[in-house]
Amino acid sequence: MKLGATTVLVGERNGKYPEGNSLLVAGSDESILVDPSVAVAEGRVDVPRVDRVLNSHCHEDHVAGNGRFAGVPWHFHEADADGIRSLDGLMAIYGFDGQIDTTWRRVVLEQFHFTPRPDPTPFRDGDVFDLGGGVRIRVLHAPGHTRGHSFFLVEPDGVLYLGDVDLSSFGPYYGDAWSSLVDFERTLVRVRTLQARWYATFHHIGVLEGRDAFIDRLDRFAAKIAEREARLVAFLAAPHSLDDIVAHRFVYRPGDAVLFADDVERRSMQQHLDRLVDAGRVVEVDPGRWIARAR
Ligand SMILES: [Zn+2]
């Protein structure tokens, strides 16, 4: 799919995880590959000459194909750059413990072809890559999913690449050690103000044309946060522990076979619990058990 200077390299199953949709942006001087997917890693999509790799954030599925471009600079937001420097650096972003950490290391190496590199090139909010012929990529720091997660605005075509603000029915993911619910919400407010012609995500939603289609999807995506929180308040009509909350499942569905589901559930819902306590809507009835206040 071609959007002006940008070609979307649509992955298998339209880029549904673990696949993804990488972008190739070609100016008159340089071509930049954004978020090389696992299909790029495995040679399942054709990629012509690439002068730089740009990563929206350091997660296994977005950096899978970086290793195929060892001779060119890899650019990351400065807050995520440690994740590509070593496998330990990447694992710190997730923050899994024990056996899950051990298993996930193997998955990242074997299924996502993780290739560390000691010298990534950091970028910051507002940085611009000039590809020649009037084609530019502007960095917009959009933290929350990870600390360094960033959008890329391709000009003059007006392609806004949203990375893992992926507009999916799953909703926002803020379950890693380097995630933040509060930052994600700020990012969701900011993204509403951005004007573009096309809105592209890494995963299966793909490309939306026009702001109305984007805002419609964005509102449904963002609403998942309030839905999770409302379900938590309802669950806490009776006192429950964080273990009970994890077992009940608010982010994943009961029975979803995801290796790290409990960790993600715990970290995501702890953030909701903390702010409900701060707001006085939930109280700790006895140590480690919380209840919602009657309204
Ligand atoms: Zn991600």
pLDDT in tens, 196-239: 999 999 998 889 999 999 999 999 999 999 999 999 999 999 99
Average pLDDT over residues 269-292: 97
Taking residue 275's Cβ as centre, other Cβ atoms within 10 Å add up to 14
**What is the per-residue pLDDT for 3?**
95
Average pLDDT score over the chain: 96
Q: Ligand 1 centroid to 59 CA: how many Å?
A: 5
Q: Ligand 1 centroid to 203 CA: how many Å?
A: 10
Q: Ligand 1 centroid to 290 CA: how many Å?
A: 31
Q: Is the pLDDT of residue 289 over 90?
A: yes
Taking residue 150's Cβ as centre, other Cβ atoms within 10 Å add up to 27
Which is it for strands 74-77 and 121-123: parallel, antiparallel or unpaired? parallel
Q: Ligand 1 centroid to 42 CA: how many Å?
A: 20
Q: For 120-153, what is each residue's pLDDT tens digit?
A: 999 999 999 999 999 999 999 999 999 999 999 9
Q: For 79-108, what is each residue's pLDDT tens digit?
A: 999 999 999 999 999 999 999 999 999 999
The vertex-263 CA angle with 171 and 206, nearest 5°, equals 25
Collect all residues with Cβ–Cβ distance below 8 Å to 262 and sequence separation of at least 6.
246
Q: Ligand 1 centroid to 289 CA: how many Å?
A: 32
pLDDT tier at 57, thresholds 50, 70, 90:
very high
Per 3-state DSSP, the chain is made up of helix, strand and coil in percentages (nearest 5) of: 35, 20, 45
Q: Ligand 1 centroid to 174 CA: how many Å?
A: 9
Q: Ligand 1 centroid to 84 CA: how many Å?
A: 13
